[in-house]
Every structure is written in C-alpha cells, then in structure tokens.
Amino acid sequence: MLIYLRVLKESFNFAINALKNNKLRTFLSLLGVTIGIFSIIGVLAAVDSLEREIKGSLSALDNSTIIVMRFSFGPTEVPQWKRQQFPDVSYDEYQYLKRNLPNTESIAFSIGVPDESIKHEDVTSTGVGVGAVTHEYYDIEAFDLEEGRFFNESESVSGSPVIVLGHEIANNLFGNFDPLGKEVRMYGRKLTVIGVLSKQGASLFGGSRDGQVFLPANVARRVYGDNNKGVFPQLILKPEDGVDNAEYIAVLEQQLRNYRGIKPGDINNFFVNQLQGFADFIDNITGQLNFIGLIISGFSLLVGGFGIANIMFVSVKERTNLIGIQKSLGAKNKFILFQFLFEAIILAIIGGLVGLGLVWLVSIAASQFTGDFQFVLSSWNMFIGTAVSAIIGLISGIIPAISASKLDPVEAIRTGM
C-alpha cells in the first residue's frame, strides 16, 4: 500500500510540474476535458433543476390523485368534434360518487373560473385566480395556512360567503392589518375572510397560490350557473392508500357510466386523468433531455481524452531517460505503469474540477437572474463529474502508460541521453 501511495504522490508532482512547465500546452489539452465536464454536468444540473421545479409545482397533489373532466391531459384518440360534445362533470355527480365510490379517501368538486377582481374598501386587486372548490379540496391539496382556517363542510354545502386569501392578495388588500373577519367584495357580493395561505413563491408554470383566493364551489355555481361553457368543472379524487389504481379507475368509470346512462360499447364521454401519468411523462422528457445532452457532451470529452493522451505521450518521451534509470534500479513495469496512469487521471480530474467550478459559478449567476427558479448543482452531479473525469484520464492514459512500462531500460537510457 505504501508503494502505491508513493507512486500517487510522485504522479501528482509530475502532473503539477506538467502544468507549471508547459502551461499553454497543458491548458489547451485540458480544455477539452473542462468543456466536456462543464457540458455534461451543466446539462444534468439544468435538467435536474427543471425536473425539481416541475415536480415541486405538482407536489401539492399526490401522484395518486385522479382528475375527471371533459378534457384530457394528454393525447387522445377521441376526435375533437366528439370531445366538444362531452358534458361537463356536475355537482350532482360529485355527490353521487361521494356516496357510492368505494376505496376513496377524498373527493372534491372544483370549478375552473376566469380571473376576477377583489376589493377591500378603496384597495382593489385585479387578475386574481379563483379556486372555487368544495371543502374536501383542503384534504387533497397540501395547503399551509398562515392564519385562520379553510371553510368547513357546512359552509361548503350551503355556499356561505366566506373566502381564503393567498399571501400576496392579503398583503395587497390589508397590508400589515389582520384580514381575518374582514369583508371583501367579489362578484358584487360581500365575502368574509376566514383564512390566509402561507407564502408559496412563484411557480414554474406562472401560477402561484399567493395570487389566488379560494371560496366554496357553490358560491361560484350561483354566479355562473351549472351549464356555463366558460367554466371548467372537475372532480378531484384521492384513492385510499394501497388501492390498486387500475381497478379503482375501472370502478370509477363504471359508476360514472351508470350514472350517465352510457350504453355498453359506447365510449366514455369524460376523461380520467392521472397525475402519475403526467409525472411519468415528465420523467420521460427529462430522460430524453439528459440523453441528448450526454451525446453532445461526449464529443467534447472525446476531444479532451485525446488531449490527455497527447500530454502523456509527450511526458513519456520527455522522461524516457528517467524511466530507464528507474528500471535499471529495479523498478517493475507495474510501478512505471501506475506512475503514468495516475498522472493521466490526476490531470483529467484537475480539468474536471475546473469544469465543475464553472458550472457552480454559472448556477449561482443563473439563480440570481431567474428569481424563484433555483439552478441546483447537486452533490451527486459533482460526484458524476469527478468520476467521469477519472474515467477519461484512465482511458486516455492507459496506452501511453503501457508503452512507458514496456520500455527497455538500456534503450531508454541511451535514447534519453
């Protein structure tokens, strides 16, 4: 073990000397490794950050959550003219499924309505996102209340004039004053503030609960009616833990088909959308982005590998006499082999660390310019960068190292003189 540590130390010194004595040559040769590692880790970090942001935006809803509506999240074989004839899900269907659908932890009714203005005294907030939902929505989505509460079942069923404000809306309307118990005007009606959501921050998709308000779905039903094509009703269901997803969906579809009187052989006139399917789609896209990035970056690493090999061949030639002397003093081929191999790996790792440093600097700058979107360089990606650098050094240095280890000591001394 001690001899290998000594070889490693000597190889490190030779690598540093190569950097000092042949700065331009070494710099140009390591540039390929640096660019390659920068490209690979930059792509991995960017895709990881994007994936984290997307999944963070979706994390409020569990992957098992199911959304039933007349639209599909993804591609469908149902022609557009037929989809346009599909009826909206209704409040009555929500009540029916709530009574009859087994293995359901929670089911909520939600209405997607246009943005609205909200007013308190002389202060008005415009373009406010409105979440018109039943009280079960609080159990399905990961709400975090800063103060107050969400509306209860009684308020939800009766359509009580109550409202929960997003953090930004509460600040706009009330500033530093406590909004609980105060009245705001919306849809020409007075609504009592019963809760304020904690600050969430901006979302990748542009929406955030900070700029939203939530009120009972039956308040919105009174405003828009039940047959308004300008709104988008939906059912949001969360199955119980451990329930077979495919079986649950089959029962859900059959219950809704029975309620709507759909004949056997006819297609469903509704869509059952799964968030898990959307999450799988995101994983597939990010996987493809990673693959494409790795292919492109691989060319830079190939150039970097040739650069390292070039340094090592030159190093072998410059130290031929030294190799001959070492062999004449009893140094084995393995000692010479590892000496040059370690040197190639150390040089490659130096280039890789420079590439990682550049990615780190870019990640800091990118996070500053993109606001709430955080460009993250994970420890796993740093490990990958270091490991890839070492592998490039190993592959690039193996042939020069073998050629050095096989030199005849007498010929090496004579050649080097």
Secondary structure of 49-91 in the HEC alphabet? HHHHHHHHHHCCCCCCCEEEECCCCCCCCCCHHHHCCCCCCCH
3-state SS assignment for residue 145: strand
Distance CA 328, CA 409 (A): 6
pLDDT of residue 352: 82
Q: Please, which residues bridge with residue 118 across strands?
A: 125
Question: Amino acid letter at 229?
Answer: K
Q: Give the lowest-confidence range in 49-53, 225-229, 316-320.
A: 49-53
**What mean pLDDT is predicted for residues 368-377?**
64
Task: In whole angstroms, give the CA distance from residue 19 to residue 25.
Answer: 8
pLDDT attached to residue 92? 94
Can you tell me the distance from the alpha carbon of 270 to that of 151, in angstroms, rounded to the nearest whole number? 29
310: nearest Cα among 107, 32, 4: 32
Fill in the DSSP letter of residue 104: E
Residues 6+ apart with CB under 8 A from 393: 308, 344, 345, 346, 347, 348, 349
Alpha-carbon span 137 to 300, nearest angstrom: 50
pLDDT at residue 57, rounded to an integer: 55
316 or 111: which leads in pLDDT? 111
User: Does 185 have pLDDT greater than 90?
Assistant: yes
Flag whether pLDDT at 306 surpasses 90.
Answer: no
Question: What are the tokens at 392?
Answer: 């490039």
pLDDT score recorded for residue 278: 57
Rounded-to-10 torsion of CA 391, 397, 398, 403: 180
Is the model's pLDDT at 372 over the cut of 60?
A: no
pLDDT computed for residue 402 by the predictor: 82
Residue with tokens 């990881």: 48
Q: What burial class does residue 2 get, using C-beta atoms within 10 Å of its C-beta: 0-12 exposed, 13-18 middle, 19+ buried?
A: exposed
The dihedrals phi and psi of 31, each to the nearest 5 degrees, come to -60, -40
The number of beta carbons lying within 10 Å of the beta carbon of residue 251 is 18
Q: Count Cβ neighbours within 10 Å for each residue of 267-291 and write b for 16 or more, e otherwise.
A: eebbbbbbbeebeeeeeeebeebbe
Q: In angstroms, how far is the first alpha carbon of the chain from the final one?
A: 33
CA distances in angstroms from 32 to 344, 345, 386, listed in the order given: 14, 14, 15
- Looking at 27-31, 101-105, 219-223, which range is the least confident one? 27-31
Domain extents in the chain: 1-58+281-415, 87-269
**DSSP bridge partners of 252:** none
User: Full-prediction pTM beyond 0.75?
Assistant: no
> For tokens 């919105």, what's the residue?
220
The pLDDT, as a whole number, for residue 204 is 46
pLDDT of residue 321: 77
Which tens digits make up the pLDDT trace of 319-370? 777 777 767 766 677 777 777 777 778 778 888 888 888 888 877 777 666 5
Q: Evaluate if residue 263 carries a pLDDT over 60.
A: yes
